[in-house]
Amino acid sequence: MAASEGPLKGVKVLDLSRILAGPTCTQLLGDLGASVIKIENPATGGDDTRQWGPPYVEDAEGNRSDLSAYFMSSNRNKKSVALDIASPEGQAEVRRLASHADILIENFKPGGLAKYGLDYATLSRELPSLVYCSISGYGQTGPNASKPGYDLMAQGYGGIMSLTGDPEGTPMKVGVGIADVMCGMYACVGILAALRHRDLTGEGQQIDLALVDSQVAWLINEGVNYLTSGNVPQRRGNGHPNIVPYEVYATRDGHVILAVGNDSQFRRFCGFIEKPELSDDPRFSTNPARLESRDALNAVLRPALKALDTDEVIAGLESLKVPVGPVRTLDQVFASDQVAARQMQITMQAAPGKVQLIGNPLNLSRTPVTYRSAPPACGADTQAVLNAENPFED
């Protein structure tokens, strides 16, 4: 296999999903070389996120396109086919495309595709090797299966909002649609596992994935903290539930992130702020003790760090191998030499003009990701795909 083809070259994906979770998954598969056909409803102008702006890409004359920044974040390396799946003709075309596909991914309400004959039970009888991934708010089973699900609701129902935000403030969502994104990543893992099974046995299967389930799964240490202790975790702002000091501290001219992971780092840190006695104080000498005395320790650390400049703290602690870092705004992030070196900002040519996108973080030494096509206009590939004998050919 040539390195430029990608590890999933030849894998064919029929994408009936929209918004963020499903498109995140299929973009990742596309970046890895899979051929992805995205089905969009022409009556609504396509994927809902095409209207989630501004900002939008504009053409050379300043006319707004249907490429919102939100849509572009998760829809490169795909062909867009506009089909009305409520019509018999649209349903027949989707079934035809599915007959060529290895994977179908959808995020309709459970049972929502049955009336079109595009549900897993129906298609699996015709296409027993098809890997069929269903994403929904609460899953295909359970008392909440019929309820709609969005990222914000998943963050609330699944508990992450109860852990996020200022201790004295209101519950807070994460700043991006992280429940959707993580669900999309779980979907990608599940699909690749199901493909492995299909390749070994010829047998397809359905992947039933819920936004809420995936959000509960990534409660990680706080979830298991509760299951182990029975104590409901409280919001700590930027504080860590199991490590102290591990949070954001104000400096004279900004903020720094301090992440002291062990006692030897803590001793070096105390030397830097010219308070070596803290590391010998039994209240602070070990991490369990610092957890018990979090407030007392922070009462000393906050004024000490507030008296120093951000750059001074970062340079000093980095020289002592104490984990420390800045809090950057997005203009600083994308202007950084690190982002440039890691190719985390890319430029692609879309129909209206050049667009700036976030790169894929996977670096595979033999089969790297590829950026073959920019996010498409709604229906841009309809005729080419529907008229093709092999619709998934690039």
What the block records as the tokens of 63 is 């006319």
Is residue 48 part of the annotated active site? The answer reads no
Q: Could you tell me if 279 and 270 are in contact, meaning their C-beta atoms sit under 8 angstroms apart?
A: yes
Residue 359, Cβ density class (10 Å: 0-12 exposed, 13-18 middle, ≥19 buried): middle
**Residue 292 to residue 109: CA distance in whole angstroms:** 46
User: CA separation (Å) from 185 to 133, 329, 345?
Assistant: 12, 25, 20
Q: Could you tell me if 27 and 75 are in contact, meaning their C-beta atoms sit under 8 angstroms apart?
A: yes
Q: Could you tell me if 321 and 262 are in contact, meaning their C-beta atoms sit under 8 angstroms apart?
A: no
Q: Could you tell me if 208 and 139 are in contact, meaning their C-beta atoms sit under 8 angstroms apart?
A: yes
Residues 6+ apart with CB under 8 A from 181: 20, 21, 24
**Residue 127 to residue 99: CA distance in whole angstroms:** 7
Q: How many CB atoms lie within 10 A of CB 283?
A: 12
Which residue out of 15, 31, 47, 180 is catalytically annotated?
A: 180
What does DSSP say about strands 324-326 and 255-259: parallel, antiparallel, or unpaired?
A: antiparallel
- The helices-and-strands tally (H runs, E runs) of the chain is 16, 13
Q: HSE-up of 22 (CA within 13 Å, CB side)?
A: 30
Q: Sheet containing 79-82: give its strands across.
A: 79-82, 35-40, 12-16, 103-106, 131-136, 205-210
In the block, which residue shows the tokens 């995205």? Answer: 38
Among candidate residues 98, 70, 76, the one with its CA nearest the CA of residue 85: 98
Active site residues: 180
